[in-house]
Chain A
Amino acid sequence: MSTLTEAPPPLTPAAPEQKPPRIRGRWTPYWLLLPGILWLVVFFAAPMVYQASTSVQTGSLEEGYKVTWHFATYWDAVSEYWPQFLRSVAYAASATVLCLLLGYPLAYLIAFRAGRWRNLIMILVIAPFFTSFLIRTLAWKTILADGGPVVGALNTLHVLDVTSWLGWTSGDRVLATPLAVVCGLTYNFLPFMILPLYTSLERIDGRLHEAAGDLYAKPSTVFRKVTFPLSMPGVVSGTLLTFIPATGDYVNASLLGSADTGMIGNVIQSQFLRVLDYPTAAALSFVLMAAILAMVTFYIRKSGTEDLV
């Protein structure tokens, strides 16, 4: 903040005498921060405090809920629902990897090879956002229908035998299996991967590629030594933007999955709305948040891009 309050060196040919008004300047940054801070307090900090309080309450709807510092709720919740936690992380991680594999070539194409098609392809990437998340997910029920062409083709090619053996599908179907949930997650979060990748690829100076070529680097070496390292910020933010919401998602699991594919979001939702066990729902949300935070911190440290994100 302090840099803002200091008089900047006169870059413009303005008269050196004309100092910026210091009094007003000192408070300006705070005024500018105010809306954001208010927003965070009302919609982030307050609910967090409330959630934290709920998670250590006990009671029932009739008697009301009181804070009793009942921390055992956390232990009970985790020991009861750890399979769903693991499943959520596994599904979200698979979807993130798939998104990266699908998204990187596409982002690369848009950034370097698309030419005059660039805008059109960008629109195609963003267009699905114009329909609701729910409709997009429901569409997969038609695409992957048991009697549909996709499942028919996969059956003919014996792909489903392999995925069945791996435990990703069961029988001759894709819907209501883990594979369908991962497909849905991948599809729904793909644009969150492509957009950051595109932004960071597009910023790479084309002359660097030329220079690498001039130094006799093969195209694959150029990619490995120049393009990919420079696109790391996009890779990291893309994976985070995909992984974090995918872990908490429950729409895909409830529409495309079965009773064996419940994710932690489904548990939180049903605890909160159907079972009316507010403390368990709050505790699960906190554990989920903590787990994601830990994983993300580890990931950012590992990828060595703290300063880039």
Chain B
Amino acid sequence: MEQYEPDRLSPAQVAAMRRSLRSGRAALTRRSLLRASTGGALAVGGLGLLSGCGIPAAGKTEGGVSAEDHSKEEKEVRFSNWTEYMDVDESGRRHPTLEAFTKRTGIKVTYTEDINDNSEFFGKIQPQLAAGQETGRDIIVLTDWLAARLIRLGWVQKLDPANLPHAFANLSPQFRTPDWDPGRAYSYPWQGISAVIAYNKKALDGIEVKTVSDLLDNPKLKGRVGFLTEMRDTMGMTLLDMGKDPARFTDDDYDAGIARLQKGVDRGQIRRFTGNDYTSDLSKGDFAACLAWAGDVVQLKADNPDIDFVIPDSGYVTSSDNMLIPNKARHKTNAERLIDYYYEPGPAAELAAYINFVCPVDGVKDDLAKIDEDAANNPLIIPDKAMQAKSHSFRSLSSKEETAYEEKFAKLTGA
């Protein structure tokens, strides 16, 4: 630090600095604080309620409703994303990859970090989309299950493959055919999120944890393991552990999974269900081991050498956050060009070096290695063949199943 000259730092140093800046408290930010602070969510829900008695039926339209595309006259695109989900320069205010996009195409990007929680954001845009109005956004980024719901409701537009050559060519095979959007007609992943088992070596004190069964059954871990409040991650990992495939399970399998976890709750084995706030429990050692999101683990590990992760032999669950173009968006073509831009290896590598989640773009390894060697060799960021083979996704649910499953899971978690 003695000779701090920002201009002279190599890209690798810059990436390392960014990583260290983002670990610790910053690592908490994306989901935890606001997922926990559902106060805001309830307030939004309250406003949603005000929009008139009775909730209208979703206007189902195949392929979504396009407004007139103003992409040609208005050189701009409005992009809503999660907080801390984009590369930032040293000043913390500018996004280099977005600026490069504007420089190249002349399209101005209005970038807003206004998504903190899927359910909350759904409450926010639901009234407009249900009423067939514009949301004021051209790209939104939502997790699989909510993306699936929006596609099911007919609230997002079909993408034009002619504008997405890179995305089509470079999308990593593991993300190509989700059952809720086969062939990616409506959505492209922004980043992948893997659920793994994380542990604190110090708190574990020699106890071996390799599977979800270890978490649930080892009496030495009583009251010191955590599971996630995200239903699909917790249930997916539990189903895998029971030898079921989360992509193909039945109601009975699901109930068996719930019963298995319920036993863990009743015996006091499971300490609690958490959102992203597990990161503090884990680094303090209140959790000896827990289910965790890989992107957080990369950051926690950099901050605390006691933290590490393990991928169970039975596999792990990968979901993704997906870019979608909501109905009536004014700049559809511009939005598609921006989506395609992030599937070019260069920008994708810059982004991956910064945010540490699973990169959904193939062929970025070389570009990433130039920026940050460690990140390029980290299977949590660029999954190798063996990692990809173990990855499973949770199947999409009908709205009836979704309600029933969420209800059972909510009961399990005590709410």
Interface residues, chain A, with chain B CB atoms under 8 Å away: 46-47, 49-51, 53-54, 57, 59-67, 133-134, 138, 141-142, 145-147, 170-171, 173, 175-176, 250-251, 254-255, 257-262, 266-267, 269-278
Min Cβ gap A124→B in Å is 25
Q: CB distance B45 to A175 under 8 Å?
A: no
Q: CB distance A141 to B55 under 8 Å?
A: no
Q: Which of B42, B52, B54, B415 has the most CB of A within 10 A?
A: B415
Q: CB distance B280 to A50 under 8 Å?
A: no
Complex alpha-carbon distance, A267 and B411, angstroms: 9
Contact of A259 among B36, B286, B402, B412 (CB under 8 A): B412
Q: Tell me which residues across on chain A come within 8 A of B306, comparing CB atoms.
A: none
Q: CB distance B414 to A273 under 8 Å?
A: no
Please name the 3 residue pairs, one residue from A and one from B, whose CB atoms are nearest each other, closest first.
A64-B57, A262-B414, A266-B415
Q: Tell me which residues across on chain B come within 8 A of A65, comparing CB atoms.
A: 54-55
Min Cβ gap A91→B in Å is 13
Contact of B33 among A47, A134, A260 (CB under 8 A): A134
Complex alpha-carbon distance, A258 and B120, angstroms: 23
With A146-B285, A259-B265 as contacts: A60 and B399 at CB distance below 8 Å:
yes
Complex alpha-carbon distance, A153 and B221, angstroms: 22
Residue of B nearest to A172 (CB): B223
- Complex interface bits, B52-77 against A, C-beta within 8 A gives 1, otherwise 0: 11111110100000000000000000
Is the CB of B37 closer than 8 A to any CB of chain A? yes
Min Cβ gap A211→B in Å is 49
Contact of A64 among B46, B56, B223, B231 (CB under 8 A): B56
Question: Which of B14-22, B169-177, B268-276 is near enough to bind chain A?
Answer: B268-276
Complex alpha-carbon distance, A57 and B57, angstroms: 13
Q: CB distance B286 to A47 under 8 Å?
A: no
Q: CB distance A269 to B42 under 8 Å?
A: yes
Q: CB distance A278 to B55 under 8 Å?
A: yes
Complex alpha-carbon distance, A229 and B372, angstroms: 71
Complex alpha-carbon distance, A63 and B399, angstroms: 11
Q: Which of B119, B277, B286, B414 has the most CB of A within 10 A?
A: B414
Residue of A nearest to B222 (CB): A171
Complex alpha-carbon distance, A8 and B273, angstroms: 64
Residue of A nearest to B38 (CB): A269
With A273-B119, A276-B403 as contacts: A251 and B410 at CB distance below 8 Å:
no
Q: CB distance A261 to B414 under 8 Å?
A: yes
Q: CB distance A61 to B153 under 8 Å?
A: yes
Q: CB distance A62 to B399 under 8 Å?
A: yes
Is the CB of B217 closer than 8 A to any CB of chain A? no
A-B contact pairs, 24 of them (CB 8 A): A46-B50, A59-B55, A61-B58, A134-B37, A141-B277, A142-B284, A147-B286, A173-B223, A175-B271, A251-B36, A254-B38, A258-B414, A259-B273, A259-B413, A259-B414, A267-B410, A269-B42, A271-B410, A272-B42, A272-B45, A273-B120, A274-B231, A276-B402, A277-B403
Q: CB distance A250 to B54 under 8 Å?
A: no
Q: CB distance A145 to B223 under 8 Å?
A: no
Is the CB of B384 closer than 8 A to any CB of chain A? no
Complex alpha-carbon distance, A152 and B176, angstroms: 52
With A251-B39, A269-B38 as contacts: A64 and B54 at CB distance below 8 Å:
yes
Complex alpha-carbon distance, A47 and B400, angstroms: 28
Contact of B50 among A50, A134, A277 (CB under 8 A): A50
Q: Which of A51, A61, A250 has the most CB of B within 10 A?
A: A61
Complex alpha-carbon distance, A274 and B402, angstroms: 9
Q: Is the interface of B mostly helix, strand, loop or mixed?
A: helix
Complex alpha-carbon distance, A147 and B306, angstroms: 16
With A62-B57, A176-B223 as contacts: A270 and B410 at CB distance below 8 Å:
yes
Q: Tell me which residues across on chain A come within 8 A of B406, comparing CB atoms.
A: 270, 274-276
Min Cβ gap B34→A in Å is 9
Min Cβ gap B275→A in Å is 9
Complex alpha-carbon distance, A134 and B403, angstroms: 29
Complex alpha-carbon distance, A59 and B296, angstroms: 39
Identify 7 new A-B residue pairs, CB closer than 8 A, beyond the known A146-B285, A176-B271, A259-B412.
Answer: A64-B54, A142-B280, A175-B271, A250-B415, A260-B414, A274-B410, A275-B407
Residue of B nearest to A278 (CB): B55
Min Cβ gap A46→B in Å is 6
- Complex interface bits, B92-122 against A, C-beta within 8 A gives 1, otherwise 0: 0000000000000000000000000001100
Complex alpha-carbon distance, A166 and B272, angstroms: 21
- Complex interface bits, B223-253 against A, C-beta within 8 A gives 1, otherwise 0: 1100000010000000000000000000000
With A134-B33, A176-B223 as contacts: A66 and B414 at CB distance below 8 Å:
no
Q: Tell me which residues across on chain A come within 8 A of B45, comparing CB atoms.
A: 272-273
Q: CB distance A53 to B285 under 8 Å?
A: no
Complex alpha-carbon distance, A128 and B413, angstroms: 30
Contact of A133 among B39, B407, B410 (CB under 8 A): B39
Residue of A nearest to B400 (CB): A60
Min Cβ gap B79→A in Å is 24
Is the CB of B49 closer than 8 A to any CB of chain A? yes
Min Cβ gap B185→A in Å is 20
Is the CB of B123 closer than 8 A to any CB of chain A? yes
Residue of B nearest to A63 (CB): B57
Min Cβ gap A223→B in Å is 39
Q: Tell me which residues across on chain B come within 8 A of A258, comparing CB atoms.
A: 265, 270-272, 414
Q: Tell me which residues across on chain A come within 8 A of B52, comparing CB atoms.
A: 50
Q: CB distance A257 to B414 under 8 Å?
A: yes
Complex alpha-carbon distance, A146 and B270, angstroms: 15
Q: CB distance B153 to A62 under 8 Å?
A: yes
With A134-B36, A262-B414, A273-B41 as contacts: A66 and B120 at CB distance below 8 Å:
no
Q: CB distance A47 to B49 under 8 Å?
A: yes
Residue of A nearest to B402 (CB): A276
Residue of B nearest to A148 (CB): B284
Q: CB distance A254 to B53 under 8 Å?
A: no
Q: Tell me which residues across on chain B come within 8 A of A67, comparing CB atoms.
A: 53-54
Is the CB of B281 closer than 8 A to any CB of chain A? yes
Q: Tell me which residues across on chain A come within 8 A of B33, comparing CB atoms.
A: 134
With A47-B46, A171-B223, A269-B41 as contacts: A147 and B54 at CB distance below 8 Å:
no
Q: Tell me which residues across on chain A come within 8 A of B46, comparing CB atoms.
A: 47
Q: Tell me which residues across on chain B come within 8 A of A255, comparing CB atoms.
A: 36, 277
Q: Tell me which residues across on chain A come within 8 A of B268, comparing CB atoms.
A: 170-171
Q: Tell me which residues across on chain B come within 8 A of A138, comparing CB atoms.
A: 36, 277, 280
Q: Tell me which residues across on chain B come within 8 A of A175, comparing CB atoms.
A: 271, 286
Contact of B49 among A54, A147, A251, A273 (CB under 8 A): A54
